[in-house]
Every structure is written in structure tokens, then in C-alpha cells.
Amino acid sequence: MTRLAFVAALLALLAAAPAAAWTQAMTREAPPQPLHIADSNCVPMTLQAGGSADVPFADCQAAVDTGLAVWNDVAGAYIAFTTTVPASCCRAEFLQQGANVNCIRWLEDDWPEEYPPAGIALTTITYAVDDGAILDADIEFNGADFSFGTSCAGGLVDIWNTTAHEAGHVVGLDHSDAFGSTMRSRSYPGDCDLRDLTADDTEGVSTLYPPADDPGTCLEPRGGLNLDCTPPPEDCGCRAPGARPAPWTALLAVAALAARRAGRRRR
């Protein structure tokens, strides 16, 4: 059985210890292995239908797509994000047996206690312990404590801005202390400075995914695409949600895209 681990890459720009410019995220097991997308030149991402309760779905989808696409424009890197049709249901979990999805969703009613309290968004990565290959990556936005928008208006968290940061974690980048970097560890409502990549960000992704190493194939999620939370085979023991990993997994919170708390408009 493949040894797996979960990494809650809380791209909730939280106060984390600064990294030295761009940094590749690592597994927590010894010896540490670099996290990376293996055997595919794309990462298919799926937005859950409904998106953010603060923004019309079409506008939310467009902002998410734009945030992902900033990483596709790096000439020196072969990795690219693709998007699927919206999912009626998706979760932050990985099924060892069964279809999966790299989910993007909003948590509107509750931000779990085990998540960083100041987190704007959280990315949970499932990886192979032996080599750090990323098997699944799910982005969750904190709609319970923050209001979202598609502009740089004060008091609103910009969806494009936050998605661009979280997408960097999806491909294996950790936080950076380079000035202005999209992968810096802090943001705030009204911030749009993460929308555009800096030289530090492009150096990181192009170092991880140089064109000479392009595998020449775009793979779908492990086991196929799951757009409706189809459960795994009964009694397989293979569901591994981030909240309670199965015995063959481990849970690790490595970083958080955080902000000072914003007073949320109650609906």
C-alpha cells in the first residue's frame, strides 16, 4: 500500500517564520522529500458549484480561473493549471481507491477549529511519503470569517489575489520572504498585490518545472474525476479526510495565508 501523508498548507497568509526567498515545500517525514507534481504537465482544478456566497457564481469562477492562470504564463515552466466543469460536491480529502478531485470550495458556515484561526484560505495537499509526489490538492476559502470580492475594495478579500497565492502551494511552493512575492505569508482584505507574479515566484516555479523535464502528458486526478462526492467502495478503508487521517497517512499543518481578522458581513 502506498504510504501517503497530508499537508495542510494553510495558504491563509498567516504569521509564519519567513523563508529565504522562494522555497520548495517538503514532506515532514525523514528524510524530507520535496513536494512536486509528478508525471503530468498540468493540474486540473475544480470549483464547487455555488462558489462564494458574496459574489455571483460567474464572477467568482472568472476570478478563480484568472488566479490560477497567472502561473500558466511563466515561459520557463512547463506546469499549467486547467479547470474542469464545476462540481456539485467536493471535499478536502483523498480516496486511495476511487475517483478524486482537486477541489476549490468556500466554507461559509464554519471554519474548523483545527484550521488556523486567522486563515483566509487553506490548501490541503496529499503526497506520497517516499518521494513527495503530490497526489491531490484542495483549496478551501474561509467564507465564515471573511467577505470576498473581485476587486481591491477595502474590507473584501480579493478572490484572484488569494487564488494566485494558494495555487503556488498546489504546485509545491512554500512561503517566501522576497519583497512583493505572491508567495509571501501575509495578506489582508483589500490587498491585490499577490495577483501578479514577481521574479521570485517565476524563478521558483521554473526551477521546479523546467521545460526540459516536461513529461508531455496531462493527467486527470487519481482514479478519475469525482464531481459529486461519490464515495469509495464500501468498507475499503481508503477515505482519508484531512480532519482524521487513516492509519497510513499523517497530517501536517505547514503554513497559513493569514490576515488580521475582518468583521464579516452577516447575511
Given a cut of 70, whether residue 145 has pLDDT beyond it is: yes
Of residues 82 and 251, the one with the higher pLDDT is 82
Across the range 71-88, mean pLDDT stands at 97
Q: With beta carbons less than 8 A apart as the criterion, state whether 35 and 7 touch.
A: yes
Q: What is the mean pLDDT of the chain?
A: 85
**What is the DSSP annotation of 2-56?**
--EEEEEE--SB---PPPSSS-B-B-SSSSP-B-B--S-SEEEEEEBTT--TTS-
Q: Say whether the peptide bond before residue 31 is cis (omega within 30 degrees of 0).
A: yes
Among 139, 50, 136, smallest CA distance to 100 is for 136
244 Cβ neighbours under 8 A, 6+ residues apart: none
Superfamily grouping for domain 4-255? Collagenase (Catalytic Domain) (3.40.390.10)
Model confidence band, residue 201 (pLDDT cutoffs 50, 70, 90): very high
Q: Can you give the pLDDT at residue 153?
A: 86
189 Cβ neighbours under 8 A, 6+ residues apart: 146, 147, 154, 155, 156, 157, 259, 262
Across the range 65-70, mean pLDDT stands at 98
Q: What distance in Å separates the CA atoms of residue 72 and residue 232, rounded to the nearest whole number? A: 32
Q: What distance in Å separates the CA atoms of residue 223 and residue 32, rounded to the nearest whole number? A: 26
Given a cut of 80, whether residue 241 has pLDDT beyond it is: no
| pTM of the model as a whole | 0.86
Given a cut of 70, whether residue 79 has pLDDT beyond it is: yes
Among 142, 195, 170, smallest CA distance to 46 is for 170
199 Cβ neighbours under 8 A, 6+ residues apart: none
Domain ranges for the chain: 4-255
Q: What distance in Å separates the CA atoms of residue 147 and residue 115, rounded to the nearest whole number? A: 18
Of residues 237 and 135, the one with the higher pLDDT is 135
In single-letter form, the type of residue at position 199 comes to: A
Give the tens place of pLDDT for each residue, 13-28.
443 344 459 999 999 8
Q: Can you give the pLDDT at residue 236?
A: 57
Q: Can you give the pLDDT at residue 239?
A: 52
